[in-house]
Structure 1
Amino acid sequence: MRRNRGTTPRTTRILGSLLLLAAVGVFTSGAAPAARAAAPIPPDRVVPAPASVKPGGTPYRITRATSVRVDGSAAVRRIGAYLAGILRPSTGYPLPLTDHGTGGIRLHLEQGDFGAEGYRLHSSAGGVTLTAATPAGLFHGVQTLRQLLPAAVENKTVQPGPWQIAGGTVEDRPRYAYRGAMLDVSRHFFTVAEVKRYIDQLALYKINELHLHLSDDQGWRIAIDSWPRLAAYGGSTQVGGGAGGSYSKADYREIVRYAASRYLEVVPEIDMPGHTNAALASYAELNCDGVAPPLYTGTKVGFSSLCVPKQVTYDFVDDVIRELAALTPGRYLHIGGDEAHSTSHADYVAFMDRVQPVVARYGKTVIGWHQLTGAHPVEGALAQYWGLDDTSAAEKAKVAEAARHGTGLILSPADRIYLDMKYTEDTELGLDWAGVVEVKRAYDWDPGAYLAGVPASAIRGVEAPMWSETLKTPADIEYMAFPRLAGAAELGWSPAAAHDWNTYKVRLAAQGPRWDALGIRYYRSPQVSWPKS
């Protein structure tokens, strides 16, 4: 995975022209022009770029009389309450939820050509209507609605407004079904509250998969009842020798619940057969020589391995996967599989052949790092590609061959969207084994054409991993994630025709004040013309 190396044409024309207007600060609403500071935000400023934007008509203005109109379902009512909870502190308006009346902001479910996560947002002087076929689609539409309001709407104290939403229609749906972000809680531990904060940030950009890296050499972070020393001892430290930590099952369920409330699915990862020193230190019998190594607080990789020939290894794997699958309502369980340098190739293949069916036995779909393609990926398995632009042709060919035979791919090229890579050589946080990754480099590539010989149908989506060797606080996470996370989200959501650095950097710059209002620490890349504070 990572270490020391180691629209249509018409829609495109519309987006292009709107973005050009946005770049020079011009937008026509169809009404008499308002003062420049109070002009509504053009719908082309949204990140990720919507599939279709049709501007026009008079803006809608949120006032003290505005209500949030919801359908009768509990899910729609929860989304309405979420929206009102964002808007009330900054506007100072009551914004009651109601299931009757006219005008206001309406959230509405109906069957239509929206797909599983698409939506339509229509705004006019009479109100705003968000329509989708699923609650997930409505929730994503709410994120677009947030971005059509001034950044001050994110504040927790009353702001002056006005609160206008530009007239027009946005019709939107994602390019890829899998749009992920990974958080490494093993190298440094992050609390439930800290993970929730990151979930909220991911949701703003329509990320729908949270991959939690729960085990590694430096720490085991999830309670397993049948092997209690994994968390109690294996989770007791972290990189640099700090106190570490682990999640109880109740903690993990709360993360899963909270993620689901933001329409993210949790993908838990137990990395194996390598990256396992925390487990090996906790239980001597998992080692081939029966001797437990000491806990590890460094950052080297590739030195640990479960004992592939021992039956106890598979008893351990079965117990861990069984308990973790029971806690996880989502579809996937990630079994790692990278950098198993201390495992022979024959043992690696034997291990993966034996472990993958265990995942299926407990009702989950296997995800593994792309080294899984060097074994025998089971039917339906997904491989997560973390190689570089200059990864060897032979390794890429192996991945492409697996993709042609039915293995789906999640793209996480390390020198593109590994969020822990330094922006420049002078960046204080992060690593640089994959190179330095400025904002343009992170954005300026096409997942559909990245790997030669891979059919487009094999690409399931993209994921932006965040490894935590150098990251200790939520502020550290935010600084490395923003602004690159927004670009990764756009690569996963927006149509390929909308991907253009010159127009994207204008939309990205408009996100800066929103991050300021949200208290997000971010890197002010010189490649982007950020508004002056």
Structure 2
Amino acid sequence: MLVLSILLLNAVTGLADDNSQGATLIPAPRSLQVKEGSFILTDKMGVTLAPQLGGGLDLIRLLLGPATGFDFSRVDGGAGMRIGYDATLHEEGYRLEIGTGGVDISASTHAGVHYALQTVKQLLPVEIYSQGLVEQDWVLPALLIDDQPRFSWRGLHLDVGRHFMPVEFIKKYIDLLALHKMNRFHWHLTEDQGWRIEIKRYPRLTTVGSVRAQTVVGHPLFQDEDEKVFDGTAHGGFYTQEQVKGVVDYAAARHVTVVPEIEFPGHAQAAIAAYPELGNTGEQLKVMEDWGISKNTLKPSDETLDFYRNVLTEVMVLFPSPYIHIGGDEAPKDQWEESPFGQQRMEQLGLTDANELQSWLIQQMDDFLTANGRRLIGWDEIMQGGLSSNATVMSWRGMERGMQAAEAGHDVIMAPTQWTYFDYYQADPDVEPLAIGSYTPLAQVYHFEPKPTGPPSEVRQRILGAQGQLWTEFMKTPEHVEYMAYPRAAALAEVVWSPRNNRNYDNFLLRLPGHMQRLDVLGVNYRPPGNDKLDAWDSFKQWLFDIAIGIYFWFSDL
């Protein structure tokens, strides 16, 4: 097995030593064999398509049509591209063979065809990523690839609650996921600082909850409460249900599932500002204007539960995703413990503490989603006080809590801060844009291993995959989001797609410049790799920050 792994790695890394586009495949395929010769795509080239893979022509035209201008007509014989059905292949896997006689793709599903075509696109000159017609020879190198993903969940998250992002950018973000063979877009739609999705039954969620009057300037951790400075400028925005449907359809055409997140029972101050009866105090709150964790959590009443069931009912109509994310993180319990209603509720339910109350609330949402044929996902705090076996845990506070969830029988998505939080600095904070803190350079992301080797196989198989997170407190523009995301998201894409034994960071760096040429054509504002080491003083400060985060995680479980 070791010899085979070395041979496969050499096949992939060998491409990085020549000048072909194959040298820049990201993520690296499972198996690749270079051959002699090439094939040129032309406007007279026809396509044959197995009947089981209907829709393949739409994919070809979507991915290869804009720059080439070719029609890619379906023909019965003599085709230059042949797409065949092979039931033995992985549901997202494919086999790609290119020779002087044309292109042969085998797959068992439409998704497999999609990933094969994404590889074909990367093998072509980078101008294939142009949105307009380009006149040139579209040359493909001769080779043989057998490929399939390592993990079923390959995701990237985007917080639009702190800073709203336009629909056009959301679609570009999805295009970049598809390019990297990622298949989950985690859309974080609600926050203390803004509610971003239209709910027709509750219009004040957007007329009130989507706009904050102003935003704190600078980093709140380094400011006393009475010294905070605000910009005096309103920030708002939300997605209509028609816009959401458009995004979901756009993603589906690219084999990306959009997973919505509706925060519950914390991170809900924007909702409480819109409907004060949802809060524990009944006071009229404003949409939160600074960063951090709001103490204002949802009131644990039957009326609140009905409100959120109604919200999720509309959400489920818009999002066909089997999974619905309900947050569940960073929900301070002080108001429940201090309010007469909270105490009465716990006594009525026979609960011993506020952790059990949160668990009960999460269980109500879980029961509701399950009854509607969906599965609940939440951040790892949903394990506090107990959790139903149907729930999936997204582990952000390190790997350990994810492994605990897997050992308890839950499916797990790994999203630990140390490797997957792309809002963290990626180089010297003195020369980088303001960020929340800590330090996650490119190499650290690439060396992330979502599935530890120690636990039994039945535990490890519950790890569905991993995803990167972009929290936007300090990212006001799409360009800033791209700068924080890439190339780190490209590194993570290889972590979740490529076989563990095929991964090689030095080789990834050799392939990355060619990949960045694609990002250049697409107008992505990535951070150029390199120059990301910290000096001793900055390393010490980041160590202190990580210690503080660890202490916070420990206390948050008490």
Q: 1:145-187 deviations in whole A, cap 9, x for unaligned?
A: 1111121222245556442212121111111111111111111
Q: 1:97 matched to which residue of 2?
A: 73
Q: 2:8 matched to which residue of 1?
A: 15
Q: 2:552 matched to which residue of 1?
A: none
Aligned 8 A contact 1:274 1:339 in 2:
yes
- Take 1:305 and 1:185, find their aligned partners in 2: how far apart are those partners? 20
Q: Does the alignment pair 1:220 with 2:204?
A: no
- Take 2:484 and 2:130, find their aligned partners in 1: how far apart are those partners? 23
Q: 1:507 to 1:74 in 2, by over 3 A?
A: same
Q: 1:80 matched to which residue of 2?
A: 60
Q: 1:147 matched to which residue of 2?
A: 122
Q: Cα distance, 1:499 vs. partner?
A: 1.7
- Take 1:272 and 1:238, find their aligned partners in 2: how far apart are those partners? 23
Q: Does the alignment pair 1:107 with 2:83?
A: yes
Identity %: 30
Q: Does the alignment pair 1:345 with 2:349?
A: no
Other structure's SS at 1:166 match? strand
Q: Does the alignment pair 1:502 with 2:506?
A: yes
The correspondence of residues 443-454 of structure 1 with structure 2, limited to 5 A, is 443-449=446-452
Deviates more, 1:231-240 or 1:48-57: 231-240
Q: 1:185 matched to which residue of 2?
A: 160
The correspondence of residues 512-523 of structure 1 with structure 2, limited to 5 A, is 512-523=516-527
Other structure's SS at 2:394 match? strand
The correspondence of residues 363-442 of structure 1 with structure 2, limited to 5 A, is 363-388=373-398, 396=400, 399-424=402-427, 425-426=429-430, 428-429=432-433, 431-433=435-437, 435-442=438-445
Aligned 8 A contact 1:179 1:492 in 2:
yes
Structure 2 stretches lacking a partner, 5+ long: 216-232, 335-353, 533-558
Other structure's SS at 1:138 match? helix
The correspondence of residues 2-401 of structure 1 with structure 2, limited to 5 A, is 9=2, 11-23=4-16, 25-26=17-18, 40-42=20-22, 45-71=24-50, 74-88=54-68, 94-108=70-84, 110-157=85-132, 159=134, 161-237=136-212, 240=215, 241-308=233-300, 310-342=301-333, 344-388=354-398, 396=400, 399-401=402-404
- Take 1:221 and 1:453, find their aligned partners in 2: how far apart are those partners? 42
- Take 2:279 and 2:397, find their aligned partners in 1: how far apart are those partners? 30
Q: Cα distance, 1:20 vs. partner?
A: 4.5
- Take 1:82 and 1:14, find their aligned partners in 2: how far apart are those partners? 34
Q: Cα distance, 1:284 vs. partner?
A: 1.2
Q: 2:230 matched to which residue of 1?
A: none
Aligned AA (1:304): N
- Take 1:329 and 1:203, find their aligned partners in 2: how far apart are those partners? 18
- Take 1:68 and 1:84, find their aligned partners in 2: how far apart are those partners? 13
Q: 2:473 matched to which residue of 1?
A: 469
- Take 1:273 and 1:451, find their aligned partners in 2: how far apart are those partners? 35
Aligned 8 A contact 1:71 1:99 in 2:
no
- Take 1:291 and 1:485, find their aligned partners in 2: how far apart are those partners? 42
Q: 2:535 matched to which residue of 1?
A: none
Q: 1:467-515 deviations in whole A, cap 9, x for unaligned?
A: 1111122211211111011111111111111122111221223211111
Q: Cα distance, 1:517 vs. partner?
A: 1.3
Q: Cα distance, 1:137 vs. partner?
A: 0.8
Q: 1:270-290 deviations in whole A, cap 9, x for unaligned?
A: 111110000010001111222
Aligned AA (2:265): P
Q: 1:58-81 deviations in whole A, cap 9, x for unaligned?
A: 211223433444445642221122
Aligned 8 A contact 1:420 1:430 in 2:
no
Q: 1:482 matched to which residue of 2?
A: 486
Other structure's SS at 1:271 match? strand
- Take 2:55 and 2:434, find their aligned partners in 1: how far apart are those partners? 39
Other structure's SS at 1:352 match? helix
Aligned AA (2:377): I
Deviates more, 1:346-355 or 1:116-125: 346-355
Q: Cα distance, 1:87 vs. partner?
A: 3.8
Q: Cα distance, 1:212 vs. partner?
A: 0.5
Aligned 8 A contact 2:394 2:402 in 1:
no
Deviates more, 1:227-236 or 1:54-63: 54-63
Aligned AA (2:393): A
Q: Cα distance, 1:292 vs. partner?
A: 2.3
Aligned AA (1:469): E
- Take 2:402 and 2:460, find their aligned partners in 1: how far apart are those partners? 13
- Take 1:114 and 1:10, find their aligned partners in 2: how far apart are those partners? 24
- Take 2:154 and 2:15, find their aligned partners in 1: how far apart are those partners? 27
Aligned AA (1:105): M
Structure 1 stretches lacking a partner, 5+ long: 1-7, 27-38, 390-395, 529-533
Other structure's SS at 2:324 match? strand
Aligned 8 A contact 1:269 1:333 in 2:
yes
Q: Cα distance, 1:427 vs. partner?
A: 5.0
Q: 1:295-331 deviations in whole A, cap 9, x for unaligned?
A: 21211214220011x2211111211111111221110
Q: Cα distance, 1:116 vs. partner?
A: 1.4
Deviates more, 1:239-248 or 1:475-484: 239-248
Aligned 8 A contact 1:64 1:95 in 2:
yes
